[in-house]
Amino acid sequence: MAKNNCAICGAEVGLISGQKLADGNYICRKVCSAKTLKEFNKVEAYLGDVTAHIEQVEMGTRIWNELLLPLKKSKNKEEKLKMMGIGGPLLYASASTGLVALVETRYKFLVFGKSEHVCVYRIADLIQYDYEVETKTNSEGKQEQTHFCVMAFKETAGLYTFRLKVSGKKEYESIAKYFDTLFGIQKTLGNAVNNAKRQLDAFKTAFNTVKAAADGTLDETQAAAAVETLDASVYGDRTQWIAKADAALAPYKQ
Ligand SMILES: [Zn+2]
């Protein structure tokens, strides 16, 4: 096989030392690929996705060390981080800063040390937290279940979606409740009817807008309003979470 070069650092890579990306570029495993989280799918990524993700991890790790890690040890209940997940990267939610951090811990066997690689997100950008269960048959022929919380963040470059491994459906439900509460989304039985009606109204407005677009009678203001109604109904109110995160991240913006 012909030798290739890492598209980021230029190092020469071969079959084993190189990772091929979706766009045909190669990156070196030793330095550049090691800067990405394991959750980041390089086989499906373009070079631009990889470089955006590496920047995301560099910034996220810095924010984690400077801002969030000190809060992890905080005695103040308001500032404490909520840990989520099991046996892989863990998610830490920081309600006081409006941020969440996906933390991958790597242990260095020879020096008995560890390092953390982190992606930090605005809680306000969390648009999906769904339950997923995977059933596999193990070597003894028994069915084994793995539970996940599938999370996705809007307007995020790099790693914008991942599956957080959780201990079971119960942990997933506690995570969903945590974010539902932050966003003021009511999913209790008593509110279900009300909520369903609100959602139905929102969908009706959205539907009429789509119809108006097809008829060529679409009013831009009406369209924007429809999207907002739909957002508020499905995603709750994010205003204070945007403000908190922006204040926390202000020192990190150039
Ligand atoms: Zn490289």
Query: Is residue 159 a contact partner of residue 119, using CB atoms and an 8 Å limit?
Result: yes
Q: How far is the CA of 121 from the centre of ligand 1 (A)?
A: 26
Measure Cα distances from 72 to 53, 79, 93, 172, 248 in Å. 24, 8, 10, 21, 16
pLDDT band at 5 (very low <50, low <70, confident <90, very high): very high
74-110 pLDDT, tens digit per residue, is 889 899 999 999 999 999 999 999 999 999 999 877 7
Number of neighbours of residue 224 by Cβ within 10 angstroms = 11
Q: How far is the CA of 21 from the centre of ligand 1 (A)?
A: 13
Residue whose tokens read 């097809």: 214
Q: Cα-Cα-Cα-Cα dihedral of 121, 123, 127, 131, to 10°?
A: 90
- Ligand 1 is an ion; its neighbours by CB within 5 Å are 6, 8-9, 11, 28, 31-32
Q: How far is the CA of 42 from the centre of ligand 1 (A)?
A: 13
Handedness of CA 199, 241, 51, 118 (dihedral sign): negative
Query: Is residue 57 a contact partner of residue 35, using CB atoms and an 8 Å limit?
Result: yes
157-180 pLDDT, tens digit per residue, is 999 999 999 999 999 999 999 999
Q: How far is the CA of 13 from the centre of ligand 1 (A)?
A: 9
Nearest alpha carbon to residue 121 among 183, 68, 44: 68
Nearest alpha carbon to residue 131 among 193, 79, 179, 87: 179
Q: How far is the CA of 163 from the centre of ligand 1 (A)?
A: 27
Q: How far is the CA of 67 from the centre of ligand 1 (A)?
A: 29
Assess whether pLDDT exceeds 90 at residue 1: no
Q: How far is the CA of 12 from the centre of ligand 1 (A)?
A: 8
Distance between CA 169 and CA 175 in Å, rounded?
Answer: 10
Q: How far is the CA of 145 from the centre of ligand 1 (A)?
A: 37
Q: How far is the CA of 5 from the centre of ligand 1 (A)?
A: 8
Vertex 104 angle, CA 150 and 133, to 5°: 25
